Each structure stands twice: as C-alpha cells, then as structure tokens.
Homo-oligomer: A and B are copies of this chain.
C-alpha cells in the first residue's frame, strides 16, 4: 500500500466495508486451514453444526449459516456420501431431517478445527485477548440481533 493511501484510507469509517475486508482475511485463513482436510468453508460449517449437540434440521442449518435451504441439501449430500454425517428423521416432524455427525465426522472436524484455529490465531493476533473477546461480543449482537 502506498504511503499516500495509508494516510487517506477511504471507506475506513464504513462498517460494512471493514466487515467485508476483515471477513475476507478471516475466510482466507479458514480456507488455508481446511485445505488439507478436504473441506471448504461451507461444508466445514455444516459439519461443525452436525458435531454440536443441537440436533438441527437442514432448515435450521440454512437459517443459522445464512444459506438457502437448497444449498444445504447438496452440502449434506456430499458430507453424507463421505460418511461424515447422517440424516436422522425428526421424531416430532416427519418432514424434517436432523443432521448428525458420525464418529468419522467428529474426528475430521476435530482435526480440521485445530488447523483452522491455528490460522485464525495468526489473523487475530493484531488484537489482544480482551479485545478479541470484546469484538466477539459486538459481532454476536450484530450477527444475531434480538
């Protein structure tokens, strides 16, 4: 970056722009962390929710990850084909299918999460621990407004 640009820095008072650029950096780090595990950001996210004990339906996953329900279908298809998750019938609603991680899915997620955390740590180290915590609190309220 030129010194002139450093001094001026357009758009840096624009939350949307800062959010987009910070997210781009974070995405690159996550992508790099997942590369060796045969996962992409979206399939990793779905797997992470399947590993969590929340017993989410595909519709829940779509809402949570801000994806279209039709996208979740092919993501779960892929994970299921690889033996990482299963579709279980919801006992209360026969339309819905709960996505649950298999033992292999849990193992892969654990290894992938470790790689991702390592990369993310480098991305976040420009903030100290308290600042990172404060950032997460603010982002949480933005990501999930009450």
Which residue of chain B lies nearest to A52 when distances are taken between CB atoms in the complex?
A: B10
Which of B45, B48, B123, B131 is in CB contact (< 8 Å) with A138? B131
CB A143 to nearest CB in B, in angstroms, measures 4
Q: How many copies does the complex hold?
A: 2
Which of B5, B16, B134, B136 is in CB contact (< 8 Å) with A27? B16
Is A82 an interface position by the 8 A CB rule? no
Within 8 A of B (CB), among A63-89: 63-66
Asked whether A26 lies within 8 Å of B30 as measured between CB atoms, the reply is no
Q: How far is the CA of A49 from the CA of B8 in the complex (A)?
A: 11
Which residue of chain B lies nearest to A50 when distances are taken between CB atoms in the complex?
A: B10
Mark interface residues in A78-103 (1 if CB within 8 Å of B CB, else 0): 00000000000000000000000000
**Residues of chain B within 8 A of A10, CB atoms compared:** 48-49, 52, 54, 64
Interface centre among A1, A56, A144, A146 (most CB of B within 10 A): A144
Q: How far is the CA of A124 from the CA of B15 in the complex (A)?
A: 9
Within 8 A of B (CB), among A129-146: 131-132, 134-136, 138-146
5 residue pairs of the A-B complex, CB under 8 angstroms, read A1-B60, A1-B63, A16-B27, A25-B143, A135-B139
Binding site for B on A (CB under 8 A): 1-2, 4-5, 8-13, 15-27, 29-30, 41, 45, 48-49, 52-54, 56, 60, 63-66, 116, 120, 123-124, 126-127, 131-132, 134-136, 138-146
